[in-house]
Amino acid sequence: MMLIDKQFELEIPTHIAFTLYKNDYVDNLIISKVKKECINESDKDSEFIVSLDQFQNAIKTSTFLRGEMKKVIDQDLLPNPNFKPNSIFFLQAIINRLVNLETITFKISNEKIFSRLVKVGDGREIVSFHFNIIEGTFDLTKILNREQLDIFNKRFMDVGIMKNKYLERTSYFYIKAVTLFDILAEMEEAQILDAFDIITAVDPKIEEDDPILLVKTDYTPY
C-alpha cells in the first residue's frame, strides 16, 4: 500500500512558467520591478527566468504591489464578494501552495486585447491564471517502501534509465513526466508494481505539461 496524499503532488513543481501582459497595469508593474531588481537568466527577448526569492523581493519593493498582497491575505481571512483577483492574487496562491518552487519564468506579451476569463462546465466565465510546470522533483522515497523501490529500480535499470553497475549508480535521475508515467503504466499492466495509486494520485496537469522531473530513489546493493 502506497501512502500518497495531496501534499505529495504539491511538492513536485520546482519551476513554473506563465505570461504577463504589458498592457495590464498590475502585470506591467511586476515586469518593471523584476527588470529593475532581478538578474535575468534567460538570453531570450521578452522572457525572464529568475529565482523565486528574487521575484518575491522585487514585488515587495513596490508599495502598490505590497498593498495588493495584503488584499490577498485579507481575502483569505474575510472574503469580499467585490474582490477582483489579479496576477498578484493568483501568483501568491500558486507560490503558497507549491512549497518546493524555486524558479519562475515569465514571458512578456505586448498584446493589447487579452483575457483571463475562461468558461467552466456550467457555462459561467471565471477569471483564471494559466501556468505551466517546467521542472519538478518526484521523490519516490516518500511514497514507496524498500521492496517497492527495489522493484522500481530494477525496471528502470532494465530500460536503461538507471545504471546497472553498482559503482555507476546514483539515487536520482532525470526524465520527462510522460515517459515516467508510461513506464509506470506498463509496470501496472504487467503486474510488476501496483503503480495505479501513483498514476491516479498525481494531478493530470503534471502529465499534460510534461516537465523534466528529478526522480529521487534509493537502492539496495544487488
Cα dist. 154→38, 87, 161, 184 in Å? 44, 45, 10, 12
- Cα-Cα end-to-end distance for the chain: 24
C-alpha cell at 76: 483569505
Q: Which residue did the predictor score with more confidence, 79 or 29? A: 29
Angstrom distance (rounded) from CA 76 to CA 81: 12
Mean pLDDT (the chain) is 87
Q: Which residue did the predictor score with more confidence, 19 or 222? A: 19
Q: Are 105 and 15 in contact (CB under 8 A)?
A: yes
pLDDT for 79 beyond 80: no
Q: How many CB atoms lie within 10 A of CB 23?
A: 12
Instruction: Give residue-wise pLDDT tens across range 179-218.
Output: 999 999 998 888 888 888 788 878 889 999 999 999 999 8
The pLDDT of 73-86, averaged and rounded, is 72
The pLDDT of 128-151, averaged and rounded, is 90
Q: What is the CA radius of gyration of the chain?
A: 21
How does residue 123 score in pLDDT terms, banded at 50, 70 and 90? low
pTM beyond 0.75, yes or no: yes
C-alpha cell at 32: 518593471
How does residue 4 score in pLDDT terms, banded at 50, 70 and 90? low
The pLDDT of 56-62, averaged and rounded, is 95
Q: Is 170 helix (H, G, I), strand (E, B) or coil?
A: coil
Q: Where are the beta strands (DSSP E) in 22-143?
A: 47-51, 103-109, 117-119, 125-127, 131-139
Longest dimension (CA), the chain: 62
State the pLDDT at residue 126: 66
The pLDDT of 64-93, averaged and rounded, is 81
pLDDT for 2 beyond 60: no
Q: Which residue did the predictor score with more confidence, 142 or 79? A: 142
Angstrom distance (rounded) from CA 41 to CA 24: 24
